[in-house]
Amino acid sequence: MMKKIINTKNAPKAIGPYSQAVEANGTLYISGQVPVNPETGKVVEGEIQEQTEQVMKNIGAILNEAGYSFSDVVKSTCLLSDMNNFAAMNEVYGKYYSENQPARAAFGVVKLPLGVLIEIECIAVK
């Protein structure tokens, strides 16, 4: 098995013993991304829409670094601190997957890192 660690300065640094993403045998596994602006290292201001937008930008930067695109994503998992934010999150998320949408699961969780409203992980395949 070929395992390659993916790292880009255009997405937030890993804040623990994990990688931004790992590519293995033509599959890219992207760690859960939170709405941290990689330039400032801080959580973006705003509500669920602004936070989801930053998460998707972070995912896009990692995809790009690894030579993938949003059209290669086959599965997403969305973690929300409040399921009442689902519709607003979905609106922003949908802009990135206008066709051939990936499979997805969405969960309401008690708490997310840094007190954020959203975290999304995904898997992409070439």
Q: Where are the domains of the chain?
A: 3-125
The phi, psi pair for 112, rounded to 5°, reads -120, 160
Question: Per-residue pLDDT tens for 25-42?
Answer: 999 999 999 999 999 999
Mean pLDDT of the chain: 96
pLDDT score of 1 more than 90: no
Q: What is the pTM of this model?
A: 0.96
Name the H helices within the chain.
Answer: 48-66, 86-96
- The CATH code of the domain at 3-125 is 3.30.1330.40
Q: What is the pLDDT of residue 93?
A: 97
Classify residue 15 by its DSSP letter.
Answer: S
